[in-house]
Structure 1
Amino acid sequence: MKADYHKTAVKHFSRHKGEINCCVFSSDCQILLTCSDDCRLFVWSVISGELLTKASGHTGHQRGVETVCFSPDSKHILSGGWDKRAILWDTQNGTVIRIFSGHQSAIQSSSFSVNSQYLATGSWDYTIKVWNYEAEEKEKTLSGHTGNVSCVCFSTTGLLASGSWDRTVRVWNPHKGAIIFLLECHTGWVRSLAFSRDGMLLASAGDYDPVFLWDMENGNCLKTLQQKMDMAQGCIFSPQGALLTTGMVDEISKADDAEQQ
């Protein structure tokens, strides 16, 4: 029997004038960040629903924004989109701190390292770029994917994972620009990646596949967490790391035991 899911909105946020492409909570869940095809980023109060900050203008994105993320302390925002630029913003006042240029196509994914020193962006040009926030040194370009890079994420141990439409997941040493593991179980586009809190496990979700759980000591697939599905759009570990939640196109979310057996 299908579960009876109650779909009651807690808050309604409505100011964008285009399709919303990404939304993320701050680490304390007090503010919500959204981005849109209207070239703007909005920062909202989760409690009141009030618009706190609007990030846009002539120094901002000139085309649709595909990806946004908070720094670990939520003081900064990284965004990327169809103008091929990544922009670092001040969360409180929405001003541009720095613009990163170098990708040859749209930026689809972004991530901060745990210490906020490094930023990563994944692009439709098949590359990942790693930028140093604190220095003006040239970015590192990580090459090897043969399809659009749809997701990137840092681990607490300093690894960087990337997923692609080429059906592979790559795990990198971002400082050296060297690949550590090439993970090849997926048969469809890889849509989402998540590291466990200790960085020892990596979950990957994609089209027409189960969700895979990988050991970051040796790159082995430990287990699959679900049966084959049409499209898994996202995966994320619970704060304590014992559960992994995935979202699918059939509108059902599921939590699985993610502890290594």
Structure 2
Amino acid sequence: MNSGTPGTLAVGRVKFYGRHRGEVNSSTFSPDGQRLLTASEDGCVYGWETQSGRLLWRLGGHTGPVKFCRFSPDGRLFASTSSDCTIRLWDVAKVECLQVLKGHQRSVETVSFSPDSKQLASGGWDKRVMLWEVQSGQVLRHLVGHRDSIQSSDFAPSSDCLATGSWDSTIRMWDLRGGTGAIFHQELEGHRGNISCLCFSAFGLLVKVWDCNTGKCTDTLKVRAVAGANKGVVKACQGGLHPQSPTPCFWQGVLDVAHTCAFTPDGRLLVSGTADQARCQVHCKSPRAAQR
């Protein structure tokens, strides 16, 4: 598993989080890196202490598999989505559900917070994006245009743009500055298959690596799951960019299909969630990899 060759992420001190009762569909770290959140096919959201691996909570409430989860940038909330067509907003400090957001007609596959934590974007199998006001739980806009399920979403660092990836093989860039969401800002084409994940770097690049100013694809990487990292560079599990190198960085060690991966904000920990025995793996980057 460990390797120091160029373009390969060296890892060590692997921890396994194996108390899920179903496949791990999504994972995310809190902004301070102290908490790990996982969403499972068993219908529950799990909260873990990152360093010790201790299970802090196991939250039910959804009536179907939990498809995705994400912390708000301010660390006060997290959201979970489910095949039960709902989004749940949770209070981190109290560990309780604050709101159940209803409006999607089919399974909700993705959710993302705006950088100021005031808005939420969601998408799923009903082929539409919904923008919500976090405080009130009210729908602000419906964004329609994708021709198949929406599987991924992310706000640009400037908050004025939302990117969504779909199984229609396109990424749509929605301009949020105007008063209407009826017209998408830009459609990025070039993928030949389903787009299951995307993320912005701090400098506004996407993977399949796109320059969001020109709409041109600058690089093509074979990835199954991607995670944003610090310093404005995208890192990816099973294919991505190494933080100090423009070449693809491959990490191996997953025993089954990796449904999700995420880095801590400092880039030192990587988590991957798999179908293998319904467990998560947290990998610490070795000092050699951190210095390279």
TM-score, normalised relative to structure 1:
0.81
Q: Bigger shift: 117-126 or 17-26?
A: 17-26
| Distance (whole Å) between structure 1 residues aligned to residue 72 and residue 169 of structure 2 | 28
| Distance (whole Å) between structure 2 residues aligned to residue 3 and residue 236 of structure 1 | 14
- Indicate the residue corresponding to 1:155 in structure 2: 201
- Indicate the residue corresponding to 1:224 in structure 2: 250
5+ residue gaps in structure 1?
Answer: 162-169, 185-189, 206-210
| Distance (whole Å) between structure 2 residues aligned to residue 120 and residue 111 of structure 1 | 5
Q: What displacement does 1:146 show?
A: 1.1
2:58 maps to 1:20: no
2:236 maps to 1:204: yes
Q: What displacement does 1:6 show?
A: 7.6
**Residues 81-108 of structure 1, C-alpha deviation per residue, up to 9 Å, x if partnerless?**
1111001101111101111100011101
| Distance (whole Å) between structure 1 residues aligned to residue 165 and residue 132 of structure 2 | 18
Q: What displacement does 1:116 show?
A: 1.2
| Distance (whole Å) between structure 2 residues aligned to residue 20 and residue 181 of structure 1 | 32
Where does 1:46-85 land on structure 2 (aligned, <5 Å)?
46-56=92-102, 60-85=103-128
| Distance (whole Å) between structure 2 residues aligned to residue 79 and residue 138 of structure 1 | 16
- Alignment partner of 1:259: what SS? helix
Contact 1:85 1:107 in 2 (8 A): yes
**Residues 163-193 of structure 1, C-alpha deviation per residue, up to 9 Å, x if partnerless?**
xxxxxxx100123211011124xxxxx3311
Where does 1:83-232 land on structure 2 (aligned, <5 Å)?
83-135=126-178, 136=180, 138-161=184-207, 170-184=208-222, 190-200=223-233, 202-205=234-237, 211-215=238-242, 219-221=246-248, 223-227=249-253, 229-232=255-258
Q: What displacement does 1:4 show?
A: 8.1
Q: Bigger shift: 40-49 or 149-158?
A: 40-49
Contact 2:171 2:189 in 1 (8 A): yes
Closer, same or farther in 2 for the Cα pair 1:226/1:98, shift >3 Å?
same
- Indicate the residue corresponding to 1:259 in structure 2: 290
Closer, same or farther in 2 for the Cα pair 1:106/1:224, shift >3 Å?
closer
Q: What displacement does 1:152 show?
A: 0.9
- Indicate the residue corresponding to 1:233 in structure 2: 259
Closer, same or farther in 2 for the Cα pair 1:53/1:229, shift >3 Å?
same
Which structure would you say has the larger RCO, counting Cα contacts within 8 Å and 6 or more residues apart?
2
TM-score, normalised relative to structure 2:
0.73
| Distance (whole Å) between structure 2 residues aligned to residue 260 and residue 49 of structure 1 | 37
| Distance (whole Å) between structure 2 residues aligned to residue 64 and residue 246 of structure 1 | 23
| Distance (whole Å) between structure 2 residues aligned to residue 204 and residue 51 of structure 1 | 31
Contact 1:183 1:219 in 2 (8 A): no
Sequence identity (%): 39
Closer, same or farther in 2 for the Cα pair 1:4/1:230, shift >3 Å?
closer
| Distance (whole Å) between structure 2 residues aligned to residue 67 and residue 138 of structure 1 | 19
